[in-house]
Amino acid sequence: MLVIVAPGQGAQTPGFLAPWLEDRTFASRLEWLSTVAGLDLADLGTHADAETIRDTQVAQPLLVATGLVAALELFPHPADAFARIGAVAGHSVGELAAAAGARVITAEQAMVLVRERGRAMAAASAATPTGMTAVLGGDREEVLATLDKHGLTPANDNGPGQVVAAGTLEQLQALADEPPAKARLIPLSVAGAFHTEHMAPAVGHLGTLARSVSTHDARTAVISNKDGQVVHDGRDVLARIVGQIANPVRWDLCMETMLDLGVTGLLEMPPAGTLTGIAKRAMKGVETFALKTPDQLDDARAFVEKHGEASQIETTPTWRMVVSPAKGTFHVSDEAVGAELLAPGTPIGEVANRGDHTRVLAPHGGQVVEWLVEDGDLVSPGQPLLRLHPEGVS
């Protein structure tokens, strides 16, 4: 099974777009998204220095646009992708690229949202001097306890031995003066404490805009940074992306879900390397492909053919489906037992796994057409549970 992932801020390097822009189609598509973003992304991705593209307002649109246009290079006929991709995920701002790739939102909507996301996060960063530091190695519990002691947030949990601390510069200095045992600290070149309470103003701004964005249910499984769960409902996908601006990125849980899904191949969109590097350490036995330059496209397509397998999710204009958010045992709710019609938001059951109980709702509601599982069945992330037919649709 194949998972496509999109990197987050920090993956960009000066000049990384130069080889891609030799293709006229790529260049014209990027120009269109540049117009939406209000930035000359071609110039920024070829001539700008590291400091310029480090700017949150620049880096985020640059990364999302690159991922979206490169996806069209990899899959010239986009509809074909859904027969090959088992799941998608993005790290931080990469979630917007993943959502557009899964057809939850359009590319243009993604670019407007990332433009405003970058601006709002830059403004929030300017309000208080904050930053981020990678903590590599050390005992996990000791690392987390040390961060808590200094009032820092584990803003990115990227798997064994890699946690990113975020907070004020004073808090980060305290961490540097008293680091966890056997841990190495690397200050990151970012503008602020992303994925912490310091970004709350940006959440409010983007949340207001998101209410006017029309969404569609995902065409393939979307793995959420919030908790690693598979999300199908388009409104929920977007709401999670907005909320994640001020909450930690749990990439460790995303990788656990990929393994639960049975992933055999992970392909990272450009500018690639960061997420494949993490996967090599944390997802033993999973083959990875870092798509960095267009001369790799033929090899990337061969990688897709080798690992490609469609997601369990299928969508049509009138049939709605409720899918499992996680691995575990499914239990039908009292409200759903024997029901012929479910109101929007009705709990249909829960998925129990290792003491955790995840409630499953029917976000759209509708007439019950077919139960695809029974009470007590073991289910996997993204597995269809129930088919519904929207009310009023013939």
Q: How many CB atoms lie within 10 A of CB 177?
A: 8
Q: Give the span between the Cα atoms of 300 and 290, in whole angstroms.
A: 9
Question: Which among 92, 125, 224, 311 is annotated as catalytic?
Answer: 92
Residues with Cβ within 8 Å of residue 139, at least 6 apart in sequence: 180, 181, 182
Structural contact between residues 74 and 97, judged by C-beta atoms closer than 8 angstroms = no
Phi-psi region at 307: left, alpha or beta (left = phi > 0; alpha = psi -120 to 50) = alpha
| 92 catalytic residue (yes or no) | yes
Of 3, 280, 327, give the one whose Cα is nearest residue 161: 280
Structural contact between residues 357 and 307, judged by C-beta atoms closer than 8 angstroms = no
**Side-chain half-sphere of 390: how many Cα atoms within 13 Å?**
11
Question: Which among 91, 125, 150, 195 is annotated as catalytic?
Answer: 195
**Side-chain half-sphere of 108: how many Cα atoms within 13 Å?**
5
Q: Give the span between the Cα atoms of 312 and 310, in whole angstroms.
A: 6
Q: DSSP letter at 80?
A: H
Give, in order, the Cα–Cα distances in Å from 151 to each of 130, 293, 394.
12, 41, 56
Give, in order, the Cα–Cα distances in Å from 223 to each of 126, 227, 245.
31, 9, 16
Instruction: Write out the DSSP string of 13-42.
Output: -TTTTTTGGGSHHHHHHHHHHHHHHTS-HH
| 198 catalytic residue (yes or no) | no
Of 318, 325, 305, give the one whose Cα is nearest residue 385: 325
Q: Give the span between the Cα atoms of 45 and 21, in whole angstroms.
A: 9
Structural contact between residues 198 and 124, judged by C-beta atoms closer than 8 angstroms = yes
Q: DSSP letter at 158?
A: -
**Side-chain half-sphere of 37: how many Cα atoms within 13 Å?**
29
List, by residue number, the catalytic residues: 92, 195
